[in-house]
A and B are shown apart, each in its own frame.
Chain A
Amino acid sequence: MMGNLFSYFYQFADVFSFLVLSAAGLAIIFGMMGVINMAHGEFIMCGVYVTAATFHAGLPLPLAQACGTLVAALIGMVLEVVLIRPLYNRPLDSLLVTWGLSLVATQGTLVLVGSTFPGIGTPGGGFEVGGYGFSVYRMVLFAASLLVLAFVYLLFMRTRFGVHARAVMQNAGMAQALGVRRSQVYALSFGIGAGLAGLCGALYAPTMSLIPTMGASFIVEAFVTVVVGGSSVLLGTAPAAAALAIVRTGLNAWYGQIIGQIGLLIAVILIIRVLPDGFSGWLAKRES
């Protein structure tokens, strides 16, 4: 009984953390700048590879993961300045550019690193509840997803940067007329979004085999969560991830993985029919 209940929670936590961690960076970049970052999966992949490489070079895993996060953030900031910045008023062009970026990153990794890369064993071992076995590291991932949500909340609601970023989001011209440097806010936001993608990769690096196309295994869930959540990480991503995780965990348990995946996509279609602006649009409307 106890083991059964915990097993449901565990599966929910597992799906929820995957959705939150894979979507947070994508949602920030879309919510702040309206850019649909098609290279999101490759920022995740970057986090994975840098983590693995620095880990094999001798760094302890947490430090290697920090490296993966930071490198993705830095690359994100540089790319924002060089490629994305000229395209802010041209959403289709920025979509194409980031898509091109993702192709270059995938193929470049294939050429430079090869089709496989030595992985990292999952740390932490297992624990038992009511006769069932569970992985400690999955619980670490769940905690990390909650920390990411808390980080995003504090960053946007409790810091000076957050106030400026929200001002730019709500009325960019007025924010500039009050002295906010829009380009700086955008570069930082893009860096934070890319860094969160890198963090996602860094955290999942010890759970996967490393191939240059691995970004794709995050991308469906990331986009689905952002589509359902809408443009706000705070009001959107978290409730969307929770709702989708409940649907998926339930279907997985009763009908198996395939039905779980299909059910998830059907749920997305239904939610979008009812709430065209996602959860955050719906919550924002209810507020006003």
Chain B
Amino acid sequence: MPAEPVLEVKGLMSSYGATPILTGVDLSIGEGEIVALVGRNGVGKSTTMRCLIGLLRASGGTIHYRGQDVTRMSADERARLGIGYIPQGRDVFPRMTVEENLQVGELIGGGRQRSRMDLVFQYFPILKERRKQVAGTMSGGQQQQLAIGRVLVGGPALILLDEPSEGVQPSIVQLICRVLRSIRDDLNTTILFVEQNLDTILSLAERGYVMEKGRVVARLEPRDVSQEGVRRHLLL
């Protein structure tokens, strides 16, 4: 019998006001997998992520996290169960220091576990160097490291990551990919990430899902995670 999936989404629907955006998203992700969610601009990838963390209400379908139905749970409850969310655009707290931003993330997973601040400083040395700096004054790449570090301090079991490469210089994107891989290898953390950048998809994803107009329309199997495979789904 295969292990229970960390994240199981069935028929997820959601809307902004009266406009339906998601019309049926199905995903199933096992422990320790790194899975990409791809699709053109505006198909509902970020909306899916917001529903998964609970910032947006699902109007239909179910979300199970480690076997537990979290569909009606608030975002803060889901975070304390161990889901770490990094939004598109990063949303660091701009008038708080790097260190204070990281402290907020310590609640992820319940807040009782030991803080992984030192580990985060090892992965992203720039954060240690700048830990007294106000986050709003940092560059996009530094803010992205902070946003990822901010969920890592709590030791999440599942990371939801929305467009990590957007507005970030390539060398930092490589660093981020390396860190995420070693998080998974060392801690068996499960990662679902949204991405448009082909290089980032190829260097991180093991498999994926393709979205179109508010629904998942195809799976990217491991053998599809190649230049041609991803291109075929994204550009045709």
Interface residues of A (CB under 8 A from B): 160, 163-164, 166-167, 170-171, 173-182, 284, 287-288
Contacts and interface: CB of A to CB of B under 8 A. Distances in A.
A171 B107 contact: no
Contacts, number: 69
A164 B100 CA distance: 9
A166 B108 contact: no
Given A163-B100, A179-B79, A174 B91 contact: yes
B93 A177 contact: no
12 contacts: A164-B104, A166-B93, A171-B91, A176-B55, A177-B75, A177-B76, A178-B150, A178-B151, A179-B104, A179-B154, A180-B107, A288-B136
Interface string B133-168: 010110000000000001100100000000000000
A85 B154 CA distance: 29
B85 interface: yes
Contact of B107 (A173, A174, A179): A179
Contacts of B208: none
A181 B111 CA distance: 12
Nearest to A174: B91
A115 B53 CA distance: 55
B96 A166 contact: yes
Contacts of B100: 163, 166-167
A176 B93 contact: no
Contacts of B104: 163-164, 167, 175, 178-180
Given A164-B104, A166-B95, A175-B104, 8 more contacts: A167-B96, A170-B94, A176-B79, A178-B79, A179-B107, A179-B108, A179-B111, A288-B137
Interface residues of B, number: 29
Interface of B: 53-55, 74-76, 79-80, 84-85, 87, 91, 93-96, 100, 103-105, 107-108, 111, 134, 136-137, 150-151, 154
A173 B74 CA distance: 11
Contacts of A176: 55, 74-76, 79
Contacts of B137: 288
Contacts of B84: 178
Nearest to A160: B103
A287 B96 CA distance: 13
A174 B108 contact: no
Identify the 9 closest CB pairs spanning chains A and B, nearest first: A179-B107, A179-B79, A174-B91, A176-B75, A176-B76, A179-B80, A170-B93, A177-B85, A177-B75
Nearest to B82: A179
A179 B108 CA distance: 6
A177 B54 CA distance: 8
A166 B91 CA distance: 14
Contact of B76 (A160, A180, A288): A180
Residue from A164, A179, A180, A287 whose CB has the most chain B CB atoms within 10 Å: A179
B77 to A, nearest CB: 8
Residue from the set B75, B96, B108, B154 with the largest chain A CB neighbour count within 10 Å: B75
A179 B84 CA distance: 9
Contacts of A180: 76, 104, 107
B103 A177 contact: no
Given A163-B104, A178-B79, A179-B79, A173 B55 contact: yes
A174 B193 CA distance: 18
A179 B154 CA distance: 10
Contacts of A287: 134
B85 A170 contact: no
A44 B85 CA distance: 42
